[in-house]
Structures are given as C-alpha cells and as structure tokens.
Structure 1
C-alpha cells in the first residue's frame, strides 16, 4: 500500500501525499519547535517543510525512509530559519504603576513559547527510537531543555537533536545536513558538553513525579490553593531553594527562593485575586491565569507553566495572554465560570 501511495504521490496525487506525510506531521512539528523554540516559527517552518516535500516528491528515491527524508527537509528549513530569523526581541516591563524587583539576571531566549501537550498526546510514528537516543520524549520537550537548546550554535543544535533525541546514526545525520561523519561526531561532542554545562542544575535535582500521579496532583492542588488565595507563605513553602522564574518575552529572570518570593509578593499586591484553569505545556502542569476585576468578567493574564522536582516546584514560567488560545482557553471568562473550571 505504501509503495502504491508513493507512486501516486510522485504522479502528483495530493491525497496520496497527505496520507503518506500526515502520520509524521506531529513529530515534525515538535522537531521544528525544539529547533526554533517558538511555536509560530515552528508552525510556519512545518508548512514550508511539507510544501517543499510536495514540490520535490518526484526526487524521493526511497534510498532512505520517508521519515528520514522529511527530517532532512525539516532540519535544513529550521537551520535556514535560525540563520535568517529576526528573533522576537526582548520586551520591556510594561505594567503601569508597578515596579518589579531587581532581577537576578536577564534571559537569553525571549522568544521561548510554551508547547501545548494536546499536540504531544499521539505518537506521530511507530518507528522505534534509534540507537543514539539519550533523552526521553518528556525530558527533551521540557521548557528548561528547549531553552538550553536555543543557545547552542546552529549546527550543534541540529546534530544533537537528530542524534541524541531522535536517535539517528552519525552517518544518517551527516547525510541530512550535508556534512561528514567526522564533522557530525565533533559537533555532537561539543554540543553535549555545552548542553551538560547549562543543564547541570536540572540533572542534580530529584526527578518530577509521574504525569497524572497522586504526587503530581497533590503538588498542583497546593499550588492552586496558594496562588488563588494569594497566600505568599504557602506558595513559597512549595519552592525549592534554587527555584527559577522567567517571563518571556520579558528578559527578567529570578533565581532562588527569596528573589522569586519578592516577585510573587509584588504580583499579589498588584493583583490580589486570580483564578487558575488547568492545562498542560511541555509535559508539565500549566494554567491559564485569569485576573478578577470589579466586573463579572475575569481577564486572561497569560499561561503559567510549573516545573516540578520531587515534591517541590523548581521553576515558574509566565507567558503572555496571547498564549491562551494555543491551549483552547479564552481571553476572558465570567468570574463564576473561571472558578468552576479551576476546580
């Protein structure tokens, strides 16, 4: 059946081409997101990849699998995007009448977006992981991991993702990015060292509880209670000592319990009442945050992603209001509805 579809697609049958490529669409989307860190850029590059594959399908000779061929196109399109993209610039703090505490540092990846778990639920392919895989799917989609990938040089980034996350062999990677095996192995060695240096703190932390486990649910419930009631002491008690907070596209970053506590104290003074609507992003708990007002409507403030370590929260990432629709969440809710959805 696959051979028949390939023959039909080569002859210009768009339906056959779609049947061949649709099973790979989700994983290619995730691949573009890992490469680019930005959901919209990933979507645009995925569309460019599929268009290029359609236009060039007559040249698909079947010497490599269709999946490998598609990854070759996607990887090179992402490398081109990384080369030419005018990255979303850092945004200045713009909350009138509210001054944030002094940040610990300024972040390097203001274009980072969350990736909805709804796009990760189904495996896009039944292909087993390759021999070079070093990271699980959950580890390799986490916000901390994706942010660390973004600061790698372009070639190192592509080689590491193709080898250590997708499991392609060095010879396959070399063919995909028009390089040599020696060059791939050298770039991979440097990429692993660079990534290890940036992820060292995460590697030393206790692992998060399993998705949907009673342990995860208990931590999430405590976080929601503390956040919705603006109970600063209860919230801070959930943090690890080295808890990290960021808010792309604003570059302000806070590391450590006291700096993050100061920011949360400022937030609760400015906005004393929130409702949180649960969702998931990057394999971790997340929430649509809605701000109560004097009216009967709660305005969407943005998306909060919560990273866990053992029985504690090790990171909070705040995203803008524009991220809400990606998770199927409205920009505003009746206050009563926001309460009921948060429960």
Structure 2
C-alpha cells in the first residue's frame, strides 16, 4: 500500500521521530500563526499560542487517530488554546473604534506620557512577509491580505470569541460545519447560528463605520504616492503631506487612546507635535496587514543616529491616503526585521 510523503511524516512523528515532527511543524507554523493572530489581534500572543500548539501536538501525538487529518487536528488545538486565552484577556482594537475623534493636543500633550494606555488592549501590526505564499495566485493573495487587514481585525473584535472562531474556521479556512462543531464541542445548528450572528455583526459594523484601512496592490500610481510621502516626510513638509490625504482621512497613534480626523487636525498634529524644531526623520519602507507601511526613525539634536520610534501603516483609497495607524510600541516590531537604529549620513547638511 502506497503512503503519501505527508502521511509518512505524520506516522513517523507519531512513532517519536522528532525530525519528522519538526518538518511538519515548519510546514504549518506560518498558517497557524496567521490564524492565531486573527483570533487574538496580537502577534506576540499568537506566537506563544503556536508554540504551545506544537508542544501539545508533540505530547499528544499518539492520540491522533486519523493521520490524513493532521492539519485539521493542529487547527483544533490552536483554536481551543486561543479561546482559552481570550477568556483571560481584554479584546484588542484601535482608538478609532473606541471613541469619538479628539483634538490634536489630546494625542500627546507636551512633556506628558500619562495618557498612554500600555495594557494589552491595542491591536498589534502583522508583517506581510509572513503572508507570502509563492504558490498562490494574485486573487488568493489579495483575499488573504483583506483577511489580515486592520479593518477586518477591528471588526472581528466585535464578535464573541466563539463567533470569531466559527467565522474564521467556516468562512476563512472553509472547514465544514460538522468539523467545526466537533472541534468546538458544539452542535451543528449552534455553529450555523454563531456564523449567522457573526455575519450580521460584521455587516452592521461595516455599515456604521466603513473600512478602517484599505488593502492595496502595488502599482505605479501607488509607488509614486509612497515615494512622495517618504520624501515629503523627510523634508518635514506638512502642507505637502496633507495634500496626499483624503479630506476625511484619520490618524491614530496607539498606545495613545485618542485619534484625530480630517486634514486640518492631522496637519495641526504633525506641525506642533511631530515636526518640532531640531528633530529629524528617516523612513524605511515595509508592509503590514496588507498595506504599505514605514518604519519611522527619529533623531534628536545632538544624537548621532536615528532611532526606531514607530511603524506607520497607511490605508490608501484611489491615489490618496485615507488612514494612518501609527503604532508606537517598538517592542512589537521585532518580526518586521527593522533595524533599531539608522546611522546619520556622513558629511553634508540634513533636512
């Protein structure tokens, strides 16, 4: 009887072959990470849950009765670990989903940091590099980017943990209702009911709030927009930057629990709170949550290098920027591979 290479690996792992198990873990680690991130809204928490999933899969390898269902078995373990985690943590979101717009001065008053909310209540960014799949077509890649966007993540936070799990397993991963019911210890009618309620909640959320960010594909017009944004930022050209924004654009900067809306307030925030005299900036392009992004580096007077200070994720609609989510928790940027500092260019006068 011929056994596929995949089944052979599973059988070897069940027999205690750690090398075979590591091969399996490597094959599924990335997609499990994306699933756990969608469930939790935190890359760091997702990494912990994937590690725990693989540890349990190794410890309980003898309990797997259907080697051909190994992937589904891993998802079952990961989903239930995430549900357990969600029982003890607050839901994560963005300031723009929790309150009305603020005045620019409310974002970070000069010399004060008391407004920071450092508890784990904010969504964390996810590097697009971890989404790359060389075998998927452009349509599949675009769908995957939509399903990792900040808009989708924010909407998911309005679902109960079980509704979130059912929606992801049924509609994103396309598992059958009977399988999901077995994994979550629910009846099939209960799964269908949870899915219906999840769809209704998402629909209502999008109707009331619209998209938080736009997923875009690189094209000449977009690259031109990003090049202009990068140049204008490094020149501290606030009028030029504001001209790239939609009239109804908005900006938020977690962990500050506030946000501003409209070109005028964004311009004020940039002018008086960001581009202060003596401060210089450099940007490094990257991608996060299906959107263009920049690692932002700041150099104060007297410093020899630029230090990583934020990750700015841009939502783009048409040829304008519709939203900016500026993540300021540098500790959450490790997976992006951004250097902690950029050296100042030798010689010459900098902008």
TM-score (structure 1 length as normaliser): 0.84
CA 1:324 to 1:270, structure 2 compared with 1: closer, same or farther past 3 Å? farther
Q: Match of 1:200?
A: 207
Deviation at 1:21, TM superposition (A): 2.9
Deviation at 1:188, TM superposition (A): 1.0
1:252 aligns to 2:252 (yes or no): no
CA 1:201 to 1:307, structure 2 compared with 1: closer, same or farther past 3 Å? farther
Structure 1 gaps of 5+ residues are: none
Deviation at 1:306, TM superposition (A): 1.0
Within 2, Cα distance between the matches of 1:174 and 1:64? 19
Q: Match of 1:141?
A: 148
Work out whether residues 115 and 282 of structure 1, in 8 Å CA contact, stay in contact via their aligned partners in 2.
yes
Deviation at 1:241, TM superposition (A): 2.7
CA 1:71 to 1:230, structure 2 compared with 1: closer, same or farther past 3 Å? same
Work out whether residues 297 and 335 of structure 1, in 8 Å CA contact, stay in contact via their aligned partners in 2.
yes
Work out whether residues 206 and 310 of structure 1, in 8 Å CA contact, stay in contact via their aligned partners in 2.
no
Deviation at 1:276, TM superposition (A): 0.6
SS of alignment partner, residue 277 of structure 1:
strand
CA 1:68 to 1:233, structure 2 compared with 1: closer, same or farther past 3 Å? same
1:110 aligns to 2:121 (yes or no): yes
Within 1, Cα distance between the matches of 2:343 and 2:310? 16
Aligned length: 325
Deviation at 1:55, TM superposition (A): 1.0
Deviation at 1:73, TM superposition (A): 0.8
Greater alpha carbon shift after TM alignment, 258-267 vs 29-38: 258-267
Deviation at 1:67, TM superposition (A): 1.3
Deviation at 1:31, TM superposition (A): 0.5
Deviation at 1:202, TM superposition (A): 7.5
Q: Match of 1:3?
A: 7
1:67 aligns to 2:71 (yes or no): yes
Residue deviations 1:204-249 (CA, integer Å, cap 9, x gap): 79965423x2122011112112222222222112112332222222
Q: Match of 1:223?
A: 229
SS of alignment partner, residue 210 of structure 1:
coil
Work out whether residues 300 and 332 of structure 1, in 8 Å CA contact, stay in contact via their aligned partners in 2.
yes
Within 1, Cα distance between the matches of 2:93 and 2:143? 31
Within 2, Cα distance between the matches of 1:74 and 1:111? 22
Matches within 5 A, 1:1-343: 1-62=5-66, 65-85=69-89, 96-97=110-111, 110-122=121-133, 136-200=143-207, 209-211=216-218, 213-270=219-276, 272-294=279-301, 295-320=303-328, 321-336=330-345
Work out whether residues 325 and 331 of structure 1, in 8 Å CA contact, stay in contact via their aligned partners in 2.
no
CA 1:293 to 1:207, structure 2 compared with 1: closer, same or farther past 3 Å? closer
Residue deviations 1:230-269 (CA, integer Å, cap 9, x gap): 2222211211233222222222122333333332223334
Work out whether residues 112 and 249 of structure 1, in 8 Å CA contact, stay in contact via their aligned partners in 2.
no
Deviation at 1:156, TM superposition (A): 0.9
CA 1:182 to 1:109, structure 2 compared with 1: closer, same or farther past 3 Å? farther
SS of alignment partner, residue 276 of structure 1:
strand
Q: Match of 2:101?
A: none
Root-mean-square deviation (Å):
3.3
